[in-house]
A and B are shown apart, each in its own frame.
Chain A
Amino acid sequence: MDRRQFLKTTGFTLASAGIGVGPWNQALAQEGPIKVGLLAPLTGVVASGGREMVEGTQFFFDSIGNQVAGRKIELIIEDDASNPDTSLQKARRLVEQNNVHWLIGNLLANTGLAVANYVKGTGTPYFIPIIAADDLTQRQRIKNVVRVAGYSASAFTHPLGDWALKQGYKKIATVSQDYTFGHEQCGGLAQVFTEGGGEIVQQFWHPLNTADFSPYLGQLANMKVDAIFAMETGADATRFIQQYASFGLKGRIPLLGAMNATDQSVIRTLGAECEGIVSPAHFAEGSDNPITKKFVEDYTAKYQKIPSLYGFSMYSGAMWVTEAMKAMGGKIDNREAFIDTVLKTDLTGSPLGKTVKLDQYGNPIYDVYIRKTVKRPDGKYWNVPVETYSNVSQFWKYDPATYLKQPPYSRNFQGIKKG
Chain B
Amino acid sequence: MTQTTRTLAIGLITVIVAALLPFGLSNYQVGLATEVLIFGILAMSIDILAGFAGRTSLGHGAIFGVSTYVVIYMVSNGVSPVLALGLGILAATLVAAVFALLAVRTSGVYFLLLTLALGMIVWGICLRWTQVTGGENGLRGDIRPQILYDHRSFYWAVLAATAVLAFGIWRFVRSPFGLTLRGIRDSESRMRSLGYNVPLHLFIGFTVSGFFAGVAGGIYAFFNNFVSPSTVALTQSVEGLLMTIVGGVGTLFGSFVGAAAIIALENIVSSHTERWQTVLGITFILIMILAPEGLVGKVRILLGRVRSSKPQALPNPKP
Contacts and interface: CB of A to CB of B under 8 A. Distances in A.
Interface of A: 15-16, 19, 21-25, 42-43, 79, 83-86, 88, 92-93, 96-97, 108-110, 113-114, 117-118, 120-121, 178-180, 207-208, 411
Nearest to B128: A207
Contact of A22 (B25, B128, B140): B25
Given A25-B26, A97-B29, 13 more contacts: A19-B23, A84-B136, A84-B137, A85-B224, A85-B226, A92-B31, A93-B28, A96-B26, A96-B27, A114-B138, A117-B142, A117-B226, A178-B135
B216 interface: no
Interface of B: 23-29, 31, 127-128, 130, 135-138, 140-142, 224-226, 228, 230-231, 267, 274
A110 B136 contact: yes
A86 B27 CA distance: 19
B69 to A, nearest CB: 13
B225 A118 contact: yes
A114 B226 contact: yes
Contacts, number: 79
28 contacts: A21-B24, A22-B24, A23-B26, A24-B26, A25-B26, A83-B230, A84-B136, A84-B137, A84-B226, A84-B228, A84-B230, A85-B138, A85-B224, A85-B228, A85-B230, A85-B231, A93-B28, A96-B26, A96-B27, A97-B28, A97-B29, A109-B137, A110-B138, A110-B228, A117-B141, A179-B136, A180-B136, A207-B128
Contacts of A179: 135-137
Contacts of A15: 23
A114 B140 contact: yes
Nearest to B231: A85
Contact of B23 (A22, A43, A180, A411): A22
Nearest to A15: B23
B137 A113 contact: yes
A277 B267 CA distance: 44
Nearest to A23: B26
B27 A120 contact: no
Among B24, B26, B141, B224, the one with the most A-chain Cβ atoms within 10 Å of its Cβ is B26
Contact of A121 (B23, B25, B142): B142
Given A113-B140, A114-B138, A19 B224 contact: no
Contacts of B29: 22, 97
A96 B226 contact: no
Nearest to B25: A22
B169 to A, nearest CB: 26
Among A21, A23, A24, A96, the one with the most B-chain Cβ atoms within 10 Å of its Cβ is A96
A79 B273 CA distance: 11
Given A83-B230, A96-B31, A117-B225, A208 B26 contact: no
Contacts of A25: 26-27
A411 B230 contact: no
Contacts of B226: 84-85, 88, 114, 117-118
Nearest to A117: B140
A16 B137 CA distance: 40
Q: Is the interface of B mostly helix, strand, loop or mixed?
A: helix
Nearest to A93: B28
A207 B127 contact: yes
A106 to B, nearest CB: 13
A153 to B, nearest CB: 13
A84 B229 CA distance: 9
A337 B130 CA distance: 38
B131 to A, nearest CB: 9
Contacts of B137: 84, 109-110, 113, 179-180
Contacts of B225: 117-118, 121
A16 B26 CA distance: 10
Contacts of A180: 136-137
A22 B26 CA distance: 5
A25 B24 CA distance: 12
B27 A24 contact: yes
B62 to A, nearest CB: 14
Contacts of B224: 85, 88
Contacts of A113: 137, 140
A180 B140 CA distance: 14
Contacts of B231: 85
Nearest to A90: B270
Leading 4 A-B pairs by shortest Cβ distance: A96-B28, A117-B140, A85-B230, A97-B28
B130 A411 contact: yes
Contacts of A79: 274
Contacts of B138: 84-85, 110, 114
A279 B136 CA distance: 25
A42 B28 contact: no
A339 B224 CA distance: 26
B86 to A, nearest CB: 24
A92 B231 CA distance: 17
A245 to B, nearest CB: 28
Among B135, B140, B225, B231, the one with the most A-chain Cβ atoms within 10 Å of its Cβ is B140
B230 A86 contact: yes
B24 A19 contact: yes
Contacts of B23: 15, 19, 22
A22 B135 CA distance: 39
Contacts of A411: 130
B130 A120 contact: no
Contacts of B274: 42-43, 79
Contacts of B28: 92-93, 96-97
Contacts of B127: 207
B146 to A, nearest CB: 12
Nearest to A83: B230
A376 to B, nearest CB: 34
Contacts of A110: 136-138, 228
Contacts of B27: 24-25, 96
A341 B142 CA distance: 28
B147 to A, nearest CB: 13
A114 B136 contact: no
Contacts of A93: 28, 267
Nearest to B276: A79
A118 B31 CA distance: 14
B238 to A, nearest CB: 14
Contacts of B142: 117, 120-121
